[in-house]
Structure formats: structure tokens, C-alpha cells
Structure 1
Amino acid sequence: MIAWTARDRIENSYLLFIGIGYFFIAAIDLLHTLAFKGMNVFAGFDANLPTQLWIAARSLEAATLLIAAVLIPRKIDPRLQFGIFFALVTALIWSIFTPGIFPDCFIEGSGLTPFKIYMEYLLSILFAATIVLLYQKRGYFEGMILKLMVAAILSTVVAELAFTFYIDVYGLSNLIGHLFKIISFALIYLALADTGIRRPLEILYRDLAESEEKFRGLFNVMNEGFAFHEIVRDDEGNAVDYRILDVNPAFEEILSIPAADVINKKSREVYGMDEPPFLDRYAAVADGGKPESFEEEIPQMQKHFKISVFSEKKGTFATIFTDITRTIEDQKALHLANKKLNLLTSLTRHDILNNITAAEGYLYLIDTTDMPPDTVRYLNCLREQLTAIQRKNEFSRDYQDMGIDAPTWQSPEQILEQYRADHKGNVVIGVDNELAGYEIYADPMLPRVFENLIGNALIHGETLTTIRWYAEESGGLLRIICEDDGVGIPDDKKESIFRPAFGRSHGFGLYLVSEILSITGITIRETGVYGEGARFEMHVPAEKFRKIS
């Protein structure tokens, strides 16, 4: 019964096999005990019946121990073994209780039959063979388990030899044999109990202690504040407060409140507020809601917190939080500095543009009719440089806005539709839009990506007639693809086109595209075949896109 109950925890397949076998051996031994005349259970039978049952039980025991040793380390399905043993034992019992089938083992007035004596010797040999096998496979056992099993089998051998001498079922030899059999069973029990019950419990308690120590250590050294709470309700079941049950050292450090002033106290008392902070959110999670994370300010503390709340048991919840006040203040300061810098660059860019316009005007007024050819060429080069300066000035306007505002979820389909609407009549080629069903998390300048890629195709496509935009998922990523039927991009330029100031006149366009996308971890590369058309693939990480209906 121990082996069957603990079958999922006993790792030693040998012990599991003999454990199940001994269940049926014990069943026959029970019948053997009940078969003695003094028990008055089986009327009409003499001392031959318990002796036959004894030989049947010992034969089954010898076969179980030997087969189990042979099968090491293979493991038999416990249910299959149980069914085979059940059928075998049923057949044995039937043959014993049906006259003339099972050989006689004891005759009143004469004693043991030759069959019984020879069987005891044969069984002793089988037990000895089992010990040899166990020794050969000793590496499969723990030292104490092997010793217990060998001692149990030796006790059985002594018992079997004792049973070859008696002529009276109530004689001394029979008593000695039964005593050694009890010792054998006790040793088997110790082996199974140690492996199936005590050892797993020791391992379980050790693992629990180690796990508690590990998580208690993490609880104490983690930088984030932790607090465990229970919801306090009124007579109508409404959440009115929450009680703090436990906190970690980081809680004390972040909030400057000692644990002794917090534990087992309600939040109103701890924080000194009329309303418990975030009670509705906490109660919703404690009542079985999903875990939630949020960032909020507690004005009374003059602090901003990032809080994660979750619940493992209804009516309770835990919070893990960090003080992000400094981060928020730094973000505000950075945002203000960026606004000032943008204002400065805008004014500077405006002044540069005015200077360029003035310079171009003066160049226009210069009469080059009688000028030497070299001078005319120098003036033309000057005009080209002014044009380049103007292009870089325009790029700086685009680049300064990148990353200023937080990324947002945007629909590529709607961005492309807006582009087509804004350029209706200006773009004479086809622009196919197959981007429905997705939103991606990107910088607000994402429309400039589409504008630059289409503009790049229009300028350099030469044989361009169609630009196709579509999306496909692959390997957990979303690929947004822009491909055209123009001349394409040579293989040796596929990487350099994303570097700043590459090319003849487009300057920073594709570099700007790459930088805008990289803000939220989106990458872009060109994979087209030169001569067949350009193909730009944007790879959007799994957490940066979502499906929409």
C-alpha cells in the first residue's frame, strides 16, 4: 500500500516493483494465516491448505524479487504490473482451493511432502541469486536501501530453510521460520517507507526551507519596496481600507516609515490620509482581477511611484513599488531643456535660411556675361553649396523633432492613406496599401518614414510604376514591407544608404528613416534584387505591434 500510494514519488523502480508485488504476497499470507484450523475460517481443510498457501506466497515473493532485480533500471507501468499480479494470484488461489491441481505440501501424521521441501531449497537458491544480482547492480541503490534489501532476503532464506525441518505446523522450527519472515517483512517495510515516505518528506521540507530562505533573502535585499495587504470591508462588504501585513526593508527606506509603525495597521493610520491611496485599484485586483502596473503621484508625500499590484489569494494583495520622483523630475527638466534647445535651433535655422536667401539673391544679381569661365564655374559651385546648406538646414528641422514626444500606437494603413490623400494628383504611380489590421508603437514622426521611402523611390526608381506596401508576421515579428518595380539598389550600397549624407541629392532621408524607427527598436534593411526593384523591410518586435479589427 505504501508503494502504490507513493508511486509518483518513489524514483527507484526496483522498490516500486517489489512494493506492488508484496501487496499480493501479503494477500496470500493473510489467507495462509486464516487457513490454520484454530482460525475456523476454512472448514473442511487440514494443515495442507496453509502450507500450500505458504509455498504459493514464497514462490510469488521469490519471482517478484528476482524479476525486479533483472529489470533494473527499467520501469514497468504500475497499472500493468498490478493487473498481471492480480491475474496470477487469482489463478494461484483458484488452483489451491480446487482439489487435485496444486501439489500437496503437508500430510497429517507424516509431515512435509518432498515437493514442499524441494520448493523451499529452490526458493532459497532463487533468493540467493537475487542477492547476487542486487550486488552486481548496487550502483542503482543508496547504501542503506541495499543493506536493508539484502538483509530482508537473507532473513527470508533462513526462514525457508527453517521450514524444511518441521513435522508439526505448530512446532519450534515453524515458529522460527515465521519469526524470520516477520523480520524480512519489517526490513522490506523500512526500505519502502524510507524511500517512499521519509526521504521524500525530508527532501520536501529541505526544499521548502531552502526556498523560504532564498525568497526571504530576496525579500530583504531587493531595492524595490514590497508590502503585503488585506482588504478591510464594512458590514455591506464594500472595501473601505486595507491593512498592511508585512513589509520589506526597502519599504521602510523609500517611505521613511519603520516596519513597527506599519505592520497590522490600516493605511489611513499609516499614511495619515483621509482616503487610502489607490484603494479602488487594489480592491479590484484583490477581488480576483488581473495584475496591474501604473505610475502615479501621491501629492501628500510629494513623490511619484511606479507600482505593480497582484493577488495570490482573494481578499489580499501585494505591491512592489519604486520611487520614480527623481526620474520624473529629470524627465521634466530634460523636456524643458529640449524645448529651449529647439527654440534656439529654430531661430538659428531661420537666420541661416535668411542668410542663404540673401546670398542666393546676390548671386542672382551678379552679371556673369563677361566673366571668365573659371569664375562662372566657381559661382555655380557656390550656388550648389548654398543648396546643400539649405538641405542640411531642412534636415536639422526634422531631426530636432525626433524623440521629443513619447512614442504612440499608430496605424500604418492610416498613415499611408493620409499620404495618398495629401499627394493626390501629384503622385502619378500606383501606391498599393495592404497594411490593414495592425498598429505599431513608434515615434510620432513615423509618417516621415513613409514619406521618405516613397520619395526615395520616386527620385531614384527610374523605371518605377508601382509601390506596394504590405505586412506579414514571421517568427514573432511583424514585417512591414515597401517594395517597388524600379531599378533597385546595387548590393554594395544596401547598407551604406542608411548612413548620413549618402548619395547624390537625397542626403539624410534614409538615415532619418532608420533613426526614427530605432527609437522603439524597429529595424530596417533593403533586401531587393538590383534590376528588379527596391524592397525595404521594417522589422517590428513582438511587443511593439498589435492587431486591430
Structure 2
Amino acid sequence: MLQKTESLAHLGSWMLDCRTGQLTWSDETYRIFNRTPGECAMTYEAFPSAIHPDDRAIVDATYLNSLVDGKDFYTIEHRLIRTDTGEVRYVIELCEHLRDESGQIVHSRGLVHDITEHKLAELELLRKHEELQAAHEELAATEEELRASFDDLAGRQRQIQESERRLADIIDFLPDATLVVDESGCVIAWNRAIEKMTGIPKAEMLGQSEVPLHGGARSILIDCILRPDGATDYPYDIQTIDGEIFEATVDLAHLDGRDVTLMIRVSPLYDQEGRRIGAIEIIRDITANAAMERKIERHVAELSRQTNRLAVANKKLSLMNSITRHDILNQLTIFLANLSFVREARDSQDISWYLSRMEDAADLIGRQIEFTRDYASLGIQTPEWQHISSVVRSAAPDGLPIEDESGDLAVYADPMLTRAFANLMDNTMRHGESASRVRVRYLLEESGDLTLVWEDDGIGIPPDEKELIFRRGFGKNTGFGLFLIREILEITGITITETGEHREGARFEMHVPDGMYRVPTTSAS
């Protein structure tokens, strides 16, 4: 938060250990001096290299004299020069000395305020002021020459008009779109930049009280100054700067044929006696910057997705490598061993038994290869909305009778969801023993989540195996079915557990997070 505050205020800080010469800068100080933290050890002796050559002597002398004279505090304005670009920056430095118990100065600390924009504006205003002053003197001379023809009032009016014209010229040539309104909200200045931005000429806007840039008569940012208690329907979030300056960022559609993002800043205008006479609004088109930020965010999000996909791919490759090199080789060993026994056997009954073992091994190898194919496809395609009734019908056309109570329920899941339900039916038929039917239904939870239930009337799952059945390789067959189901569901955050009572049937509950399902307005079962 401190770094953000320093950055917004263009205010850096530093600390000098007078005993060691070690100089410590804040991040904003590094930014102001155009240095990179850690690029070199900062000491007082290295500090002057960042100061403008014409200011180094006075900066050094001011600091050393404050030590000699025993001053506890001083301020100084000076220039910096950036070695890579030659750009000159203006700063104000405030220094305070800290003493130990004996009164000796042991530390110096200070603040560095980047006032470049203010200084450049001040110099520009000074130049304009000098022009105005010269014009004023010229008018005064003209007034003296024409005193016989014009009275004093006419001369003053011309002087005021000339000053107003020059002030209008200054506003007119500002690079940012700028408008000025009086206390009643009528436009009294509309510069060239805002003409270009809106396509509306100055002649059509002067004296108007509705600014089409903001969409007509609704509240606009400048109302924060003119009508702070009456205007509340602002179409954007507003930040307050120094209590009187207001700033906001707004997206406008079809402005001059484009969709744009604008940064708007307004501040009050006062006369020489301190009375508010209106307000000025400055508008800057930051569309390119905003688009770049959004592009960066998209790239970061895509990079994150690619990283996650790579992690999933690595996991699958590792698992498939394990299956290929271990499980399949084990079954081949069994197959070849029984083949050797067949060659040596003389009894037909023994041969049949060995052939049966070989057939089982070959079948298991086929299942393992089929699993590697399915697992390699997992997560490759984009998840999609799928109606559970259609998935159930497609997954188990030749299985046990199904009481489908899912209605129009749709779930956002991997396209292999059909395979997950096919494996559930396969599990029921292989291990359910006495199972004669399957029931599919769902429950809406108070948390907003949904529980999708697959249950049968078979033998059920023993309590000590309820979690083991989801591990790869567990069980009498390949041990891949329930493992693959959990992997498919987890892609979109769906979890699965077995909660049935042993000997009363298996019950698989799939927990679907809020936002990952769609249900009709009728109540769930």
C-alpha cells in the first residue's frame, strides 16, 4: 500500500547512514531517478551522478552546509538527468537529520517529490504570462497614444478581452480534450482537441448546458463540482484527489464511430477573489492503454490455462508410461508363462486351464490399452453443457433398466462424461451381483450446489473400500473404471464419493458446484 501511495503521489523516500555512507532508496525513488533496484550499491558518493551537472555543486553544498551549520531540516529544488534518454526531470527534496543521544548526526532521511509535470506547466504558464505581460504593456502604450480618442473604460475592456483571448488560446491548444463551463453549467470553452474527439465544432457547443459526449442530460463528472448534492446518477466510479479534483475512467460506445475508454478529470475554477466561477474538464483517450491491459490479462489467462493443460498432460503421460511399462508387461509375462505351460502340458484339461489364463491376460491387456486411449483424450476437448438424460441413454443402452429422474438437468463437464456413466453401469453389472435396476436423480443443496446420484439395488460396497475403489488398479479387473470416472469429473470441479449402505446397494454421489449445472424451475427429487 505504501509503494502504491508513493507511486500515485510521485513521492519517493531515502535514508542515508552518515557513518557508513550507505544510501537506501524506496521503489518510487528508484523510479524517479530512472534506476533499477539492486543494479549497484547506492552511496552518497554515487548519488550525484543522477543530478543535472549544473545542479550538482549546489545540491552537494546545501547538504554539507546543513551538517556544518547544524541545521535539522532543509528543502531544495533541483534537476535530474536520465543518462539513457537525456530527459531532464524536476524534483523537490526535503532532508531531515537524525541525531544520537550525544547530539551527533547519524542519519539523514528525506523525501523526493517528482514535480516535473507541475514545473513544465509552471514554465509554460510563465512563458504565456510573459507574452500576456508584453501584450499588456503594448496595450498600455497603445492606450496612452489613443487616450484622446478612447476613454479609460474602453481601454480596460480591450485589455480584458485580449487577456481572455490569450487564455482561450492556451486552452485551445492544450493536447487533451478540454471544456470549461460556468456556474450555471453552460459551456464557455471547447478546445480543438475536444472538437476532434467528438466531431462537434465549438460554435455549436458554446452556451449549451448538455454535453453530448456523456449522452445528454444525465449526470456527468463536472456535476461533482457544480451540484455535489444533487447529482448522484454517475455512470462510473469516481476518485477524489485533494478534495476538489475528481477523476474517473469510463467506457463509451460509438463515440465518433468508435468504442473508447476515456480518463476524465475535473477541477473548479476560481476568480482572483477566490470565488468559484465554473469548472474545467479534461478528457484523455486511453483506449490503446486499456486495450493493451486487457490483452495482457488475456495472455496471462491463456498462459495459465496452457500451464494447467501441460500439468495435466504430464500427469497423464507419467501414468500411461507406468501402465505401459509395468501393468502390460506383467500381463504379457503371465501370457507367455501360460503359453510355455501349454506347450509342455499333455492333459487337455490343463491346456484348457492355461488357455483360460491366457485369455484373461489378453483381455486385461486390451482393457489397459483402451484405458490409455481414453485417458490420453481426457481434457483435450473443451467442456460443454450436457443433458444427463441423454448421457445416461447413450452410456448404457444395453445395461440394466434405469429409472431416470434427472429431467432437464444439464451439467457442464468434459465430453467424456458419457464414458464416465458407461463405466458406472459397467461397475454395477460387474460388482453389483444381485443388482436388477439403476436409479438416477439429483438433489439441490442449501449451499447452491447440486448432488447427482447414481444408485443400484445390488450388494453395495464394504465400508473399508469406499475410497479405495477410486484408486487406479484397485479391484478384481483392471481397476481403471472408477479411477477414470473421478478424473473425468474433476476437470470441471465435480467430485464423486460412494455413500451407500453395504448389502443394500451402491450409491455414487457426484457433487456439482454452483454455476456448473442448469435445472428447470420445478423442485428436484
Q: What's the TM-score once normalised by structure 1's chain length?
A: 0.39
Greater share of residues in strand: 2
Computing the radius of gyration from Cα coordinates, the structure with the larger value is: 1
